[in-house]
Amino acid sequence: MLSNQAPQKTDAGRREIDSRAHKLSWQLRALLIETNGERSVAELTHVFKTHEATVAALDELHALGLIHIPDAQVEMPKLVVGEGITPLQQARQLLNDTAVGSVGVFGGIAAFRFTLKIEHCYTAVELRALFPDYRKLVAKGKGADYAETVLVQVEKLLGQA
């Protein structure tokens, strides 16, 4: 589940709020109440404090048929393409931009360290060696699916190098 997906209550979910038939925990009930199709998974994270706990809770509500999770729309950042820019440079930029954008203000030091590592990559092999660090960094803010989607795009770029 991506952090930009916006779960929606089903009719069964709306009935559950009134009937309390499933005997949900207070956290699941609070999450169900706040799920309205406008708030993203990232915005709902405050109920459980971590992305992973929120995703697990949303999966439980989904399994009960109380919410519907529409397909995610992953937006890839625009690449700066110009004369003389190599696919390796584009791949480095894509990794850097998505990593920094994923962690936000609170991941400043981690994003800065990752940026420094990227700056020292001069080959596709060196860049691929950073993929585990990228997955770990980005999964915290945007989810593992987002990280994998970006890495597929990076591999396409590196394949052109």
How high is the pLDDT of residue 129?
94
- pTM comes to 0.50
* pLDDT for 132 beyond 80: yes
Q: Which residues contact 119 (CB under 8 A, 6 or more apart)?
A: 92
Residue range 53-107, pLDDT digits in tens? 888 888 899 999 999 888 766 565 555 555 667 888 888 988 988 888 877 655 6
Rounded Cα distance, 33 and 31, in Å? 5
Residue 142: what pLDDT? 81
Tens digits of residue pLDDT in 28-59: 898 889 888 888 877 887 777 777 788 888 88
